[in-house]
Structure 1
Protein backbone atom coordinates (compact mmCIF):
# COMPACT_ATOMS: atom_id res chain seq x y z
CA UNK A 1 0.00 0.00 0.00
CA UNK A 2 2.84 2.41 0.81
CA UNK A 3 4.33 1.69 -2.61
CA UNK A 4 1.11 2.83 -4.32
CA UNK A 5 1.08 6.10 -2.40
CA UNK A 6 4.71 6.69 -3.26
CA UNK A 7 4.08 6.13 -6.98
CA UNK A 8 1.13 8.54 -7.11
CA UNK A 9 2.86 11.42 -5.33
CA UNK A 10 5.16 13.64 -7.39
CA UNK A 11 8.84 13.21 -6.72
CA UNK A 12 10.86 16.07 -5.31
CA UNK A 13 12.86 16.32 -8.54
CA UNK A 14 9.62 16.67 -10.54
CA UNK A 15 8.52 19.57 -8.35
CA UNK A 16 11.94 21.21 -8.70
CA UNK A 17 11.80 20.76 -12.48
CA UNK A 18 8.37 22.40 -12.57
CA UNK A 19 9.66 25.34 -10.50
CA UNK A 20 12.71 25.70 -12.74
CA UNK A 21 10.53 25.52 -15.85
CA UNK A 22 8.17 28.12 -14.41
CA UNK A 23 11.09 30.46 -13.67
CA UNK A 24 12.38 30.02 -17.22
CA UNK A 25 8.94 30.81 -18.62
CA UNK A 26 8.73 33.95 -16.49
CA UNK A 27 12.21 35.04 -17.60
CA UNK A 28 11.33 34.40 -21.24
CA UNK A 29 8.12 36.43 -20.98
CA UNK A 30 10.00 39.30 -19.31
CA UNK A 31 12.68 39.24 -22.02
CA UNK A 32 10.06 39.31 -24.77
CA UNK A 33 8.31 42.27 -23.12
CA UNK A 34 11.62 44.14 -22.89
CA UNK A 35 12.35 43.43 -26.55
CA UNK A 36 8.89 44.67 -27.56
CA UNK A 37 9.42 47.87 -25.58
CA UNK A 38 12.81 48.38 -27.20
CA UNK A 39 11.33 47.94 -30.65
CA UNK A 40 8.33 50.19 -30.03
CA UNK A 41 10.13 52.97 -28.20
CA UNK A 42 13.54 53.07 -29.93
CA UNK A 43 13.99 51.04 -33.10
CA UNK A 44 10.71 51.76 -34.93
CA UNK A 45 10.80 55.55 -34.41
CA UNK A 46 14.41 55.77 -35.61
CA UNK A 47 13.71 53.55 -38.62
CA UNK A 48 10.54 55.50 -39.40
CA UNK A 49 12.36 58.80 -39.22
CA UNK A 50 15.12 57.56 -41.53
CA UNK A 51 12.77 55.90 -44.03
CA UNK A 52 10.40 58.86 -43.91
CA UNK A 53 13.17 61.22 -44.89
CA UNK A 54 14.33 58.92 -47.68
CA UNK A 55 10.77 58.70 -49.01
CA UNK A 56 10.27 62.45 -48.76
CA UNK A 57 13.50 63.16 -50.66
CA UNK A 58 12.53 60.62 -53.33
CA UNK A 59 9.06 62.13 -53.78
CA UNK A 60 10.45 65.68 -53.82
CA UNK A 61 13.03 64.75 -56.47
CA UNK A 62 10.39 63.12 -58.66
CA UNK A 63 8.14 66.15 -58.33
CA UNK A 64 10.97 68.47 -59.34
CA UNK A 65 11.83 66.28 -62.34
CA UNK A 66 8.23 66.29 -63.54
CA UNK A 67 7.97 70.03 -63.08
CA UNK A 68 11.03 70.59 -65.28
CA UNK A 69 9.54 68.44 -68.06
CA UNK A 70 6.33 70.44 -68.21
Structure 2
Protein backbone atom coordinates (compact mmCIF):
# COMPACT_ATOMS: atom_id res chain seq x y z
CA UNK A 1 0.00 0.00 0.00
CA UNK A 2 1.48 3.35 -1.03
CA UNK A 3 0.87 6.83 0.32
CA UNK A 4 -1.23 7.77 -2.72
CA UNK A 5 -3.66 4.94 -1.94
CA UNK A 6 -4.08 6.06 1.67
CA UNK A 7 -7.00 8.11 2.91
CA UNK A 8 -4.72 10.04 5.24
CA UNK A 9 -3.38 12.25 2.45
CA UNK A 10 -6.04 12.93 -0.18
CA UNK A 11 -4.82 13.94 -3.59
CA UNK A 12 -5.68 17.60 -4.16
CA UNK A 13 -5.38 18.55 -7.77
CA UNK A 14 -4.99 22.08 -9.08
CA UNK A 15 -8.55 22.10 -10.41
CA UNK A 16 -9.93 21.68 -6.87
CA UNK A 17 -8.17 24.86 -5.71
CA UNK A 18 -9.72 26.85 -8.55
CA UNK A 19 -13.23 25.87 -7.51
CA UNK A 20 -12.86 27.18 -3.94
CA UNK A 21 -14.72 30.46 -3.48
CA UNK A 22 -12.91 33.26 -1.76
CA UNK A 23 -13.88 36.65 -0.48
CA UNK A 24 -13.99 39.39 -3.09
CA UNK A 25 -10.75 41.25 -3.45
CA UNK A 26 -12.51 44.62 -3.74
CA UNK A 27 -12.63 46.61 -0.55
CA UNK A 28 -15.98 47.59 0.90
CA UNK A 29 -14.95 51.24 1.03
CA UNK A 30 -15.70 51.63 -2.66
CA UNK A 31 -19.37 50.87 -1.96
CA UNK A 32 -19.74 53.62 0.68
CA UNK A 33 -20.79 56.98 -0.67
CA UNK A 34 -19.66 60.34 0.66
CA UNK A 35 -23.10 60.96 2.16
CA UNK A 36 -22.81 57.77 4.19
CA UNK A 37 -19.33 58.74 5.36
CA UNK A 38 -20.56 62.21 6.39
CA UNK A 39 -23.53 60.69 8.20
CA UNK A 40 -21.20 58.28 10.02
CA UNK A 41 -18.92 61.13 11.13
CA UNK A 42 -21.89 63.18 12.32
CA UNK A 43 -23.20 60.15 14.24
CA UNK A 44 -19.82 59.68 15.92
CA UNK A 45 -19.68 63.37 16.88
CA UNK A 46 -23.18 63.10 18.37
CA UNK A 47 -22.14 60.08 20.41
CA UNK A 48 -19.07 61.96 21.68
CA UNK A 49 -21.28 64.88 22.74
CA UNK A 50 -23.66 62.54 24.58
CA UNK A 51 -20.72 60.87 26.29
CA UNK A 52 -19.40 64.25 27.42
CA UNK A 53 -22.85 65.26 28.66
CA UNK A 54 -23.09 62.09 30.72
CA UNK A 55 -19.57 62.13 32.12
CA UNK A 56 -19.30 65.85 32.82
CA UNK A 57 -22.81 66.84 33.98
CA UNK A 58 -25.37 64.11 34.60
CA UNK A 59 -23.33 61.46 36.41
CA UNK A 60 -21.61 63.91 38.83
CA UNK A 61 -24.95 65.59 39.59
CA UNK A 62 -26.68 62.26 40.23
CA UNK A 63 -23.74 61.07 42.32
CA UNK A 64 -23.79 64.17 44.50
CA UNK A 65 -27.58 64.09 44.86
CA UNK A 66 -27.81 60.41 45.78
CA UNK A 67 -24.64 60.61 47.87
CA UNK A 68 -26.12 63.37 50.00
CA UNK A 69 -29.40 61.51 50.24
CA UNK A 70 -27.59 58.37 51.41
CA UNK A 71 -25.48 60.39 53.87
CA UNK A 72 -28.59 61.93 55.48
CA UNK A 73 -30.31 58.55 55.59
CA UNK A 74 -27.29 56.79 57.14
CA UNK A 75 -26.77 59.64 59.63
CA UNK A 76 -30.42 59.30 60.70
CA UNK A 77 -30.07 55.54 61.15
CA UNK A 78 -26.86 56.02 63.15
CA UNK A 79 -28.48 58.59 65.45
CA UNK A 80 -31.48 56.30 66.04
CA UNK A 81 -29.25 53.31 66.73
CA UNK A 82 -26.53 54.93 68.84
CA UNK A 83 -28.31 57.74 70.67
CA UNK A 84 -32.00 56.74 70.56
CA UNK A 85 -32.90 59.98 68.79
CA UNK A 86 -35.70 59.93 66.26
CA UNK A 87 -34.77 61.79 63.09
CA UNK A 88 -37.79 62.87 61.12
CA UNK A 89 -37.84 64.93 57.94
CA UNK A 90 -41.03 66.96 57.97
CA UNK A 91 -41.01 68.59 54.54
CA UNK A 92 -40.01 65.91 52.04
CA UNK A 93 -40.44 68.10 48.95
CA UNK A 94 -38.43 70.91 50.52
CA UNK A 95 -35.77 68.40 51.55
CA UNK A 96 -35.53 66.99 48.01
CA UNK A 97 -35.45 70.45 46.45
CA UNK A 98 -32.75 71.61 48.84
CA UNK A 99 -30.70 68.49 48.04
CA UNK A 100 -31.01 69.15 44.31
CA UNK A 101 -30.01 72.80 44.73
CA UNK A 102 -27.04 71.89 46.91
CA UNK A 103 -25.88 69.26 44.46
CA UNK A 104 -26.14 71.67 41.52
CA UNK A 105 -24.59 74.65 43.32
CA UNK A 106 -20.97 73.56 42.93
CA UNK A 107 -21.20 72.13 39.40
TM-score between both structures, scaled by the size of structure 1: 0.71
Root mean square deviation of aligned Cα: 1.9
User: Take 1:35 and 1:45, find their aligned partners in 2: how far apart are those partners?
Assistant: 14
Residues 35-69 of structure 1: CA deviation (Å, up to 9, x unaligned):
00011001111111100000000100100110118
- Mapping for residues 19-34 of structure 1, pairs under 5 Å: 19-34=34-49
Pair member with larger Rg: 2
Larger relative contact order (Cα-Cα within 8 Å, sequence gap ≥ 6): 2
TM-score between both structures, scaled by the size of structure 2: 0.48
User: Take 2:81 and 2:33, find their aligned partners in 1: how far apart are those partners?
Assistant: 67
User: Take 2:76 and 2:38, find their aligned partners in 1: how far apart are those partners?
Assistant: 55
- Give 1 or 2: higher helix fraction: 1
